[in-house]
Amino acid sequence: MKSFNFRLVCLTLLLAGFNACKPSTTAPIKDPRVSAVPVTVVAITNASWDKTVSIVGTLYPKDEATISAQVEGQIEKTLVDFGDRVQNEQQIADIDTTLYEAQVEQAVGNMAKAEANLANARQNFERVEKLQKGGIASASDYDQARALLDQWNAESKAAHAMQSVAELNLHRSRVKAPFNGAVARRLVGRGDFVKVGSPLFELVNDSVLKFIFAVPERHGSLVQKGLPVTFGVDNYPGETFTGSVYLISPAVTMGSRAFSVGALVTNTSFRLKANTFGRGSLVLQKGVETPVIPLECVVSFAGVTKVFIVEGEVARSRTVTVGRIQRGLQEVLSGVHEGEKVVLTGQSRLSDGAFVSIQSRPPAPDKDKAGLAQNQASR
């Protein structure tokens, strides 16, 4: 029994010595600062940018009208067609002018006849008046001469009025443009019979256009007359046109929660066409302090836009809302504050909470990152 206990003790000591000689398999804990990612940082600053709102709208002619017939008759001729430019008071069509010229001649003849009868009645009245004062003409002769004078005086006025109407109809039979512009549509042709009110032409004044667009109601207190507007149209890609606000709707549309604004645009050389769609921006305030960062700081992936902010020696992922891009700078609408340090290079190796080592000079950029920055800049 004693020999068994002795052997058990020896075996226990042997195993203890073997375990003591066996090397340890547990790796030592490494300091995460040793594997810190080298990055460069820039401070978030404010730039003096104009406060703008994006707009989309339509260009309308400043003046437009449907020219209708003011007299009835057959169209003798049309002098313009769609696309033709016209001047104010330029004749553009004739409506049965031969008939209305004849009516004027008839009215002139009736007027001459009435004037002659009036002159004769006036002479007769003056003669009877003298005889009546001398006691030769009776009172009834005087009254008769007076009545005849009044009758032809009225006839003369009626003939004068008829002549004026005939001349007005003749003037209206020669259809004229009411303003400088261009013919958008010709609705009648030679030989058509028209009545009063029948449409003849559609005219637009496209020397000045109205750019009508909607502005969200939250900007209502900032929109004023005279604010500058810039926009572009599809048929002149890359070109910018300008105007200034001159109309502001007093009511907000219930469905869109926006109100209409109109800007006057001078249509130089008539390059812009009426009813064209345009998109651009309205300058609400000039020189507003705006937080900006270099475009390379922004990381966009899977619909999420973020930046990395350095807090001490740790990088923190921060989701941001971005706005405009100007001269390589990105406007940041929310998510960061002025003075914070944002990572400029090295983002491709960062994750939230990673240790960083701030470098004085930017390390060589990753090829993928450089390509992404180049693509963003080209956009």
Tell how strand 258-266 and strand 277-294 pair up: unpaired
Select from 287, 318, 353 the last residue of a domain.
287
Q: How far is CA 64 from the centre of its chain?
A: 18
Residues 261 and 308 reside in one and the same domain? no
For 143-184, the pLDDT digits (tens) are 888 888 888 899 989 999 999 999 999 999 999 999 999 999
* Pair 88, 181 in one domain: yes
Classified as helix, coil or strand, 52 is: strand
Residue at token pair 């920055």: 373
Domain-located, residue 168 = yes
- The answer as to whether 192 is a domain residue is no
Shared domain check, 274 and 312:
no
Residue 249 included in any domain = yes
**Residue 264 is assigned to a structural domain of this protein:** yes
Q: At 119, is the secondary structure helix, strand, or coil?
A: helix
CATH number for 320: 2.40.420.20
- Token readout for 6 is 């002795």
Q: Which residues pair with 40 in a beta bridge?
A: 345
Q: Are residues 81 and 153 in the same domain?
A: yes
CATH of the domain at 102: 1.10.287.470
Residue 329 falls within a domain, yes or no? yes
Q: Which secondary-structure segment (H or E) carries 219?
A: none
2 part of a folded domain: no
- 74 plus 174 within the same structural domain: yes
**What is the tens place of the pLDDT at every residue in 81-109?**
999 999 999 999 999 999 999 999 999 99
Q: Is 2 left (phi over 0), alpha (psi -120 to 50) or beta?
A: alpha
Same domain, 240 and 297: no
Q: What is the span of the domain harbouring residue 240?
A: 54-62+206-287
Bridge partners, 210 (sequence order) = 60, 264
User: Is residue 8 situated within a structural domain?
Assistant: no
Q: Which of 99, 102, 114 is nearest to 149 (CA)?
A: 114
**pLDDT digit string (tens) for the chain, length 379 residues:** 445 555 554 555 555 555 555 554 444 544 555 578 899 999 888 888 888 899 999 999 988 999 999 999 999 999 999 999 999 999 999 999 999 999 999 999 999 998 998 898 888 888 888 887 777 777 787 788 888 888 889 998 999 999 999 999 999 999 999 999 999 999 999 999 999 999 999 999 999 999 999 999 999 999 999 999 999 999 999 899 999 999 999 999 999 999 999 999 999 889 999 999 999 999 998 888 888 889 989 998 888 899 999 988 899 999 999 888 888 898 898 888 888 899 998 888 888 888 988 887 554 444 444 444 444 444 3
Q: pLDDT value at position 34?
A: 59
Give the count of alpha carbons within 13 A of 245, CB side only: 20
The identity of residue 68, as a single letter, is S
320 and 293 in a common domain: yes
pTM strictly above 0.75: no
Are 260 and 199 in contact by the 8 Å Cβ rule? The answer is no
| Count of domains observed in the chain | 3
DSSP one-letter code for 355: B
For 144, other C-beta atoms within 10 Å of its C-beta total 15
Q: Which two tokens stand for residue 289?
A: 């302090």
Is 369 a member of any domain? yes
Q: Are 336 and 243 in a shared domain?
A: no
295 shares its domain with 283: no
- 74 in Cβ contact with 193 (< 8 Å): yes
What local confidence, expressed as pLDDT, does residue 23 receive? Answer: 52
Same domain assignment for residues 83 and 169: yes
Q: Which of 270, 287, 304 is the last residue of a domain?
A: 287
Q: Are residues 159 and 241 in the same domain?
A: no
Tokens in use for 100? Answer: 């209305």
pLDDT attached to residue 227: 94
Identify the pLDDT of residue 212. Answer: 96
